[in-house]
Amino acid sequence: MMKKHSIKISNATRYYPGAAKPAIDDISLDIAPGEFMTFLGPSGSGKTTLLSIIAGFVGLNAGSVEIDGQDITNLKPHKRDLGVVFQQYALFPHMTVFQNIAYPLRQRGVSRAEIETRVKRVLDLVQLGDFAHRLPRQLSGGQQQRVALARAVVYEPRALLLDEPLGALDKRLRDRLQLEIARMHRELGMTFVFVTHDQEEALTLSDRIAVFNNGKIMQVGTPTELYRSPNSLFVAKFLGESNIMEGSSRGTNVIVRPEHIHLKMPTSKLGENELSKAARITEISFAGAHLKVGLAFSGGETGLSLITAGNPLQLQRGEEVLAVWSRANQHTVMNDDQVAAASKS
C-alpha cells in the first residue's frame, strides 16, 4: 500500500488565450486521500483542463491547487510527483515494455537492482509478467494501455491522473480494463482522479463523481447520492434515466426514476401517498430482467417505466394507463440556470 494524499482545488479559474468565457469557472473541490474521484461531463465541459491544472500542464488565472495542504500552484509538472495516463498510449516505440516502464525510474536515478524489482512488481500488477521483452507494436491496444498504467505508477507518485484512458478501446476491452483499474486502485490504495464522459464507467469505478457542465461542477457525490438526489435537471439527465415533469413552484421540476413508475389501469384507485399522471404506452421492450415501457404523458412529456417480473397487466402498445409513483420517490430539482447561480454565491 502506498501513502495516501489529498488534493485541494480552491476557486480555480482558467481562460484560454482569446476565449470569451473561462474553460474552468471558479471551481473548488476536495479530493480525499486514497479516493477514486471521477470528473464526468459532456465534451468541452472542462474535465481535461482541470486535470491538466492538477498535473501542472495548464496554469491558473486565479485560485490554487494543494497536495496535502502544500500549495503547488506554481510548481513545475515534473516536481509535482503525479502519475499521468492519457487516452493515447504514448509509449516509446523503440523501447521494450520493460524499458518503457523502467524509464521514469532511470530518470530518477534508481539503482539497477531496485528497477528490476519494481518493474517486475508493476508488471504483475497489470498482469503483463510475460510481456517484458516485447515492443509496443507487438501488443494489443489494451495491453499497451496497461503498460502505460504500469509506467505511471512504478515510481509511486502521490496520485494517478487518468484522462479517458479507455476511450480508444472497444467496449469489451473497456469493460475488462475498467475492472483492472478498479483492482489497481484497491491494491495500490492511491488517490485516483479519472476523467470520462461515460456515466456507466463513472458509476462503476468511482468513490465520488464530480459532474461538470460549462466549466463548472454542478454536483459532487457518491454514485448513489447523485442517482438518488440529483440537485439539477442536468445531473438527473446525465446520470441514468428519469421522468421529468413540471414542478409546482416556478423554476423547479419533478423527477421520478423509471424503476419507481408503476403502471395501473386508468380507473384504478390511488393510495394516500401516491401521485399519478395519465399516459399512453408508446413502446414496450424486454431488457433482460425487466420490461422497459415507453410513455407519452398527457402533458406531452415522454417518460419511461421499468417493470420487473413479467407483464402481469398484459400491457400493449397504444394502451392508456395511469403512471403511478409514491411521493417518497419523487424528487424536486431546480432548473440548471438556478443551480449555476446558486453555486456562484
- Point out which span in 41-49, 68-76, 145-153, 288-296 binds ligand ADP (CB under 6 A): 41-49
Q: How far is the CB of 51 from ligand ADP (least distance, A)?
A: 8
In angstroms, the CA 67 to CA 33 distance is 10
Q: Is 47 helix (H, G, I), strand (E, B) or coil?
A: helix
Picked from ligand ADP, Mg ion, none, the partner binding residue 145 (CB below 5 to 8 A depending on kind) is none
Residue 219 contacts Mg ion per CB under 5 A: no
Q: How far is the CB of 12 from Mg ion (least distance, A)?
A: 16
Q: String of b and e for 177-200 (b: at least 16 CB within 10 Å)?
A: bbebbeebbeebebbbbbbbbbbe
Q: What sign does the CA torsion over 323, 329, 332, 335 have?
A: negative
In angstroms, the CA 61 to CA 15 distance is 7
CA 180 to chain centre: 16
User: Total binding residues for Mg ion by CB under 5 A?
Assistant: 1
Q: Which of 7, 34, 49, 105 binds ligand ADP (CB under 6 A)?
A: 49
User: Total binding residues for ligand ADP by CB under 6 A?
Assistant: 11
CB of 128 or CB of 201, closer to ligand ADP:
201
CB of 227 or CB of 238, closer to Mg ion:
238
Number of Cβ atoms within 10 Å of the Cβ of 344? 9
- Point out which span in 46-54, 86-94, 117-125, 272-280 binds ligand ADP (CB under 6 A): 46-54
In angstroms, the CA 304 to CA 325 distance is 12
The distance in angstroms from the start CA to the end CA of the chain is 40
Rg of the chain on CA atoms, in Å: 24
Q: How far is the CB of 197 from ligand ADP (least distance, A)?
A: 7
Q: Is 320 helix (H, G, I), strand (E, B) or coil?
A: strand
Q: Which of 38, 48, 178, 206 binds ligand ADP (CB under 6 A)?
A: 48
> What DSSP state is assigned to residue 38?
E
CA 341 to chain centre: 24
CB of 48 or CB of 206, closer to ligand ADP:
48
- Within 40-69, which residues bind Mg ion (CB under 5 A)? 48
Contact set with ligand ADP (CB under 6 A): 16, 19, 23, 41, 43-49
Binding site for Mg ion (CB under 5 A): 48
